[in-house]
Structure 1
Amino acid sequence: MTEEFKNLSIKLIEFEKLNTNSSSEYKRKVTDVLKQVVNELKDEECRNALISDDISRLCKLLQAFIPVPLESSSALPDDRDINLCTECVRCLRNACVQNEQNQNWIGQSGAVGNIKDLIAGVCSSESQESISVLIRCAVQLAGNLVSGNTNTRTLLWRELFPQSFLSVFNYEDTKASTYCCMLLHECLDDELHLQQLIKQPEGQQIIEAVLRLCEEEMQHDFSLQIMQKLVTTSEFMLSAYDNLPVPAKLTVLDILAAVISQADGPSSASNSPTVPMGEEGCKNNVGVPVFTIAYLAEQFEDLAKGAMALITEEQSRHSTQQMIPVLTLRLLKVLGIAASNHEVYKPLQDRESLLQTTLELLERANLSGSSKQVPSTLHMNHEETSPVYGLKRDLVRLIGNMCYKHKPNQHKVRELQGIPLILEHCKIHDQNPFISQWAILTIRNLCADNQENQAFIAGMTTQGAAPSTDFLREMGVEVEMRDGIPYVKTTAKKK
């Protein structure tokens, strides 16, 4: 601890007469002293040496230099005042690191109100680096102030939610928004705060801001953690999800799929069925409520009816209407992963309407894919950006998972003529390579302990060889029938 720091109390008493009208030289002198204090407060001994009067005077000094909201966003506060204010905030930020007593003193000295006024005063200004740094430091101060302290957390939430959070997110500084997510994540440990965020209209705007961070930079860990916390509550789907724009819904569904997959194991999220459906890796509940999955199943059934009709070449690539089929596909992906967890999401298997919708959509997709009149966007391809990439694969996967050890669903698929439809996808597909593996596993689940389905397949007769695909022709392979037996022959490779 330096002599300069030991004389901090005397210095702060001297600084009480400082205000915005003071000379530039005096402001610079105070700023230099505060910079030294900032460095000193990185040491735990110095933080413990602070007294309540020191903190109270720092808060008063901060209050004297908080910029007032400006009438014009192009007008900028004085840089000297901004720099002095920033160093003052840094002092308070460092003072409350892992120090509950200092946290409480800062909370009692009106610093939370100062943070609120500061954010309101500078977030409306035109963006510049010095103001951005001040906002970041203010949010860091708020984060340190509530860390592990329920008293200051309650106080800060009451003062800053929702407007101060919105102001920081709307300022569009990536670092400030990231720090704001850290603060929000800490505050959401309180169940009351979580419910207010979900149910209040302004909370909806904050959620959308967090989702935009998730969309732009998936490495923003705290924005993802916030959404993971939200998607594990039934209230989020009831109160917030429906009001989100489609791109935000897609992000929510991606997060849901990842959350469920983390517990189910890598096989559930993979496009390739390296582990049989319904076995190990599908037993752990990740905390996503059964209600949420049932709600998404209902949404999928409603959207699936018109999904294929909406995908046409004439539609704008980025139109809202074009996004609806993509939303349907994302819902399908989540349901396919959830359906593999039979212990937790057993009600999903019992939803007969979902099985019927999935079979109908698979049949329509199959007919569309084989029709020359259908626009090319309906055909499977390798591009993840295609509206229907993986559609058939995920439909087959969902059917297979729903039929695992479930006799009523096994019978229903047979009654709806779904077995020939699934068998048709057991052949190698050059544009959708994993679908044959999912189809084979689905046939296994359909036939397991089901004599009727086994007999149905055994009674099927050979109709001839299917037309050779372009892929096989390019490789110099063709199939022909002789006395009901298929033979493979080589031909000249297609160039």
Structure 2
Amino acid sequence: MGNVEYAISENTLELLYAASNTVNFEKSLEILIEISKSNVGRHDFASERVLYAVPSILYSLTNASHNQHHHIISLCFKLLRNLCAGEIANQNSFLELNGVTVVSNILRSEAVSSSPDKGLIRWGIQVLANVSLAGKQHQHAVWEELYPIGFVSLAKLRSKETCDPLCMVIYTCCDGNPELFRDISSDGGWPLMAEIVRTASSATSFGEDWLKLLLSRICLEESQLPVLFSKLQFVDIPEGEDTDSTVDHHSSEQAFLLQILSEIVNERIRDITISIDVALFLFGVFKKSVGILEHAVRGKSGLPSGSAAVDVLGYSLTILRDICAQDSVGDDRDNAEDVVDQCVTDDDNPFLREWGIWTMRNMLEGNTENQRIVSELKLQGSADVPEISALGLQVEVDQRTGRAKLVNIPSNERS
């Protein structure tokens, strides 16, 4: 026997060799992985009780220091993942054999190691994801094993390949179990959600929708956006600086969160309902962020701009735009005036101006009260626009009509 096989019982090896028709341990796992990719293969292996061998192998390897056997553990995880993909008999066997605990122990240990094997961790999380699809009993078993500390340690890995399946596990466990959604919307759960957003924001891209499903449910459907947004607040503010000043300190993670939510709202504009509390919170973020344009580096690019402050402003505005397309943020003079202001606040960023105009259009369409409010607004003074001044012109208010007009700058006032 090889170094690995000596720790594994004869009965376990015989089961693997009979199912794979080979007497090479590693080769037998590889063959079983391939066969179990099909529904027929998974069903046949369920009747042959192949899955019973795998937790036993993992348990033996962990007792013999699993750090020396990453490759074999990875093969075992891949086999378990395939066996538990929609095959209820295998999913139930995994639960009965205490597989959730065995896999979770390996994941916890690997996540905090000095050089975690992210591929191994990804496959292990995928095992739990497929098992959790079997139903509430399986979901609660996974949740009780890993929430919250185990999940947090996995979320801190800052890896797209582990974060995607982690979001799947969490969403699958919580979907249909409202009490679990309450867990992650509590003091014990916010560190987990904050770490997930931080990891997601550090990745170049996300090819799966589990993150969006999770954030949509928590931030929009459960109206918990204000809490999660605050948990992502930029922490490196100089000591003694006024955090309530008009120049808000926004983090790149806050900007990323609003970016994802803006995509969600835009994609599901016809079937998602945003509570008035979330809408008003976004409007508050927007109003507080407008002041940063006086201090931000301006540019003629869209979002993301590279500036967290500008991105928070822009994404909050795009979400408000889409919310207004389905319903008014509110028939409120201050709301309408603030959005009108944004249409002309940043002359150097046409994207923010365009989104402000679209938001205004959505607020006005079919809303006679908002139309009346805007129609009563008047230009309060002259506008200082450098591009116009360079032509020797300036904008003034016509005292008779209340409308803006271009006039020549007096020669004695020209610079």
TM-score scaled by structure 1? 0.61
- Alpha-carbon displacement from aligned partner over 1:360-388 (angstroms, at most 9, x marks no partner): 5567x3xxxxxxxxxxxx6415xxxxxxx
> In structure 1, how many angstroms separate the alpha carbons of the residues matched to 2:222 and 2:81?
36
How many angstroms does 1:296 deviate by?
1.3
SS in 2 for 1:259: helix
> In structure 2, how many angstroms separate the alpha carbons of the residues matched to 1:166 and 1:462?
58
> In structure 2, how many angstroms separate the alpha carbons of the residues matched to 1:185 and 1:197?
10
Alignment of 1:225-374 (within 5 A): 225-245=213-233, 246-264=251-269, 284-304=270-290, 306-311=291-296, 323-341=308-326, 345-346=327-328, 348-360=329-341, 365=345
- Aligned twin of 2:34: 39
- Alpha-carbon displacement from aligned partner over 1:102-141 (angstroms, at most 9, x marks no partner): 101111111100111101222223437xx33322221121
Q: Is the 8 A contact 1:355 1:399 kept in 2?
A: yes
More off after superposition, 84-93 vs 118-127: 84-93
- Aligned twin of 2:132: 146
Correspondence 1:124 to 2:112: yes
> In structure 2, how many angstroms separate the alpha carbons of the residues matched to 1:151 and 1:51?
22
> Cα gap change, 1:418/1:144 in structure 2, threshold over 3 Å: closer, same or farther?
same
SS in 2 for 1:311: coil
Matched to 1:225, the amino acid is L
- Aligned twin of 1:92: 80
Gaps of 5+ in 2: 1-8, 17-22, 234-250, 299-306, 389-397, 410-415
How many angstroms does 1:159 deviate by?
0.9
> In structure 1, how many angstroms separate the alpha carbons of the residues matched to 2:403 and 2:89?
82
Alignment of 1:145-184 (within 5 A): 145-184=131-170
> In structure 1, how many angstroms separate the alpha carbons of the residues matched to 2:186 and 2:271?
26
- Alpha-carbon displacement from aligned partner over 1:60-86 (angstroms, at most 9, x marks no partner): 2211212789xxxxxx922xx223333
How many angstroms does 1:53 deviate by?
6.5
How many percent identity over aligned positions?
A: 15
How many angstroms does 1:214 deviate by?
5.2
Q: 1:62 aligns with which of 46, 58, 61?
A: 58
How many angstroms does 1:14 deviate by?
6.0
Q: What is the aligned-residue RMSD (CA, Å)?
A: 3.9
- Aligned twin of 1:193: 180
What is the total number of aligned residue pairs between the two structures? 356
How many angstroms does 1:417 deviate by?
0.8
SS in 2 for 1:125: coil
> Cα gap change, 1:208/1:352 in structure 2, threshold over 3 Å: closer, same or farther?
farther
More off after superposition, 459-468 vs 225-234: 459-468
How many angstroms does 1:156 deviate by?
0.8
> In structure 2, how many angstroms separate the alpha carbons of the residues matched to 1:104 and 1:127?
33
> Cα gap change, 1:141/1:286 in structure 2, threshold over 3 Å: closer, same or farther?
same
How many angstroms does 1:399 deviate by?
3.5
